[in-house]
Structure 1
Amino acid sequence: MSFISLVAFLIIFGMYSSHVLEAREPVCSKFAYEEQLLEKMIRTEIKVETMVNEIKKTEDNVISTLGDIKQTVTDMFADMKWNITDEMLKRSDEIERREESFKKLFEEARTNLTIDMEAKREKELTQLQGKFERPPIAFHAYHVTNLVLNITNEIVIFTKSVINEGTGYDTSTGFFTAPVGGLYQFSVHTCVYQGKYAYIGLVLEGKVIGADMNYDKDHYTCSAFGAIARVKSGEKVWVKSTLSAFNYQLYQDSYRMITFSGMLVNN
């Protein structure tokens, strides 16, 4: 750029000197073509310089724009990263809350289950202890004072007892009252005079659960029957005549015993 300016200056100076020397002779300069070419070169240089400046400005604008875009993208990713991180933190907090809630529910369920199991175990131990501590229930009664069976449904009272564990049998009334509920086994043994009849029934709370008829024309005879029944605590069992007449009569002696017995099998 400096070299071109110097050449232009020398040419112009030479032209000026020639004009001064030849002022009196107005003729065309022999350097007219070179002057025009120089002017065109100068204009072209100016245009090129202008274009370079414009390109530089454009380049600067592009670089600036790219910088802005880069910063925008960076900020956008930063915001996205922050949003994602924030969302992840929120989800993490939610998971922790749910985990704590689950732990609490699990602990409550475990505690309740433990309490229920302990209560059930205590109940079973109490029942088992009661079974071990409860005395056996059994009775065996004999000897009937009134042997005549002339009244239907009359209770047969066995006035003596060999055993009465649990004190369920009453020798004054002929009733066995179950001290505890459970499965019981009962048996009745009767004997009759020769030619006499005996219709006997075993009764649970008014319902006949076992019955027998005994008769022999020529001999004293005996027979037995029984029943197994589930009896509730406080319910009564007894023996009665189910049919009566003037010649219906029981018999007993040292060889033939009339008995009524029962025992708790399982409760």
Structure 2
Amino acid sequence: MFQRLVTLLFITAVLSEPECSRFHYEEQTLNKMIRQEIAMEKLQADMAATQQQVLDTLAKLKRVTNEMTEETNRSIRNFAADLEKLKGPTVAFRSNDLVDHSPSSGETLVFKTTTLNEGLGYDNKSGIFTAPVAGTYTFSVQLCVDGGKDMYYAIVADGVDIKKGWFCDEKWKTCYTTDTVAVLQKDSKVNVKCSAGSSTLRATGNYWNTFSGVLVQL
């Protein structure tokens, strides 16, 4: 009897034990695995979204960089074109070797050897420079006077004296240089003349009589 009672109590105790207790560890492990899998999927999704954002940002940055590069190149091209326009033509001449070494008053000095003539403004037959374009010019003259002689000169622009002077040395053969600046219109004419008396100019060896000019600014 007692043995049957003990067996009955054991069976009752076993039957009365909660059902979940037998699978509790397995359920926890399964739930943990499910949570980890969900977290991993979310992490992968976040990483994919971040990667896409980085790619989109890089693509946008590349577009902006290309646009900036093109804009910079366009600005450089426009600046170069504007600079080329501002630079304008090259006008410069250099001449020497006087035709007449004893000019008289009012005579134009003709320098027959032209060593530079950009713009073709200087005429070595007449000694006259004709401005091919309007602008600001500078002119330079060197005249070599014999000892005891003198030279009255004038630089003339369109018939008006714009620089006058007198070169003289009592003893030595001496070369003198003078220059001036003139604002000229297109086809304005500039020349050098003997402005008074009669002069004797030196023209041997290192004694050069010269006339030159250059366009400074349009």
Identical aligned residues as a percent: 33
Shift of 1:239: 0.3
Point out the structure with the larger strand share.
Answer: 2
Map of 2:148 onto structure 1: 195
Map of 1:264 onto structure 2: 215
Aligned length: 140
Map of 2:158 onto structure 1: 205
Aligned residue among 116, 129, 135 for 1:182 = 135
Cα separation, partners in 2 of 1:127 and 1:180, compared to 1, 3 Å:
farther
Map of 2:52 onto structure 1: none
Q: Aligned partners of 2:86, 2:118: CA distance in 1, in Å?
A: 15
Q: Aligned partners of 1:126, 1:161: CA distance in 2, in Å?
A: 33
Q: Aligned partners of 1:204, 1:190: CA distance in 2, in Å?
A: 19
Map of 1:244 onto structure 2: 197
Question: Is contact 1:214-1:223 (8 Å) kept?
Answer: yes
Q: Aligned partners of 1:237, 1:126: CA distance in 2, in Å?
A: 32
Task: Write out per-residue CA displacement over residues 173-215 of structure 1, whole angstroms, 9 at most, x where no aligned residue.
Answer: 0000000000001111101111111111100011111122111
The amino acid of 1:222's aligned partner reads C
Map of 1:137 onto structure 2: 91
Map of 1:160 onto structure 2: 113
Dislocated runs of 4+, deviation >4 Å: 125-132
Mapping 1:103-114, distance limit 5 Å: none
Higher relative contact order (CA 8 A, sep 6+): 2
- Using the size of structure 2 for normalisation, the TM-score is 0.60
- Using the size of structure 1 for normalisation, the TM-score is 0.49
Shift of 1:131: 4.4
Q: Aligned partners of 1:127, 1:184: CA distance in 2, in Å?
A: 22
Q: Which runs of 5+ in 1 are unaligned?
A: 1-124
Map of 1:146 onto structure 2: 100
Point out the structure with the larger helix share.
Answer: 1
Shift of 1:135: 3.3
Shift of 1:251: 1.0
Q: Aligned partners of 2:81, 2:156: CA distance in 1, in Å?
A: 33
Q: Which runs of 5+ in 2 are unaligned?
A: 1-79
Mapping 1:31-42, distance limit 5 Å: none
User: What RMSD in Å do the two structures reach over aligned CA positions?
Assistant: 2.0
Question: Is contact 1:211-1:225 (8 Å) kept?
Answer: no
Task: Write out per-residue CA displacement over residues 224-247 of structure 1, whole angstroms, 9 at most, x where no aligned residue.
Answer: 1111110100010000000023xx
Q: Aligned partners of 1:226, 1:191: CA distance in 2, in Å?
A: 15
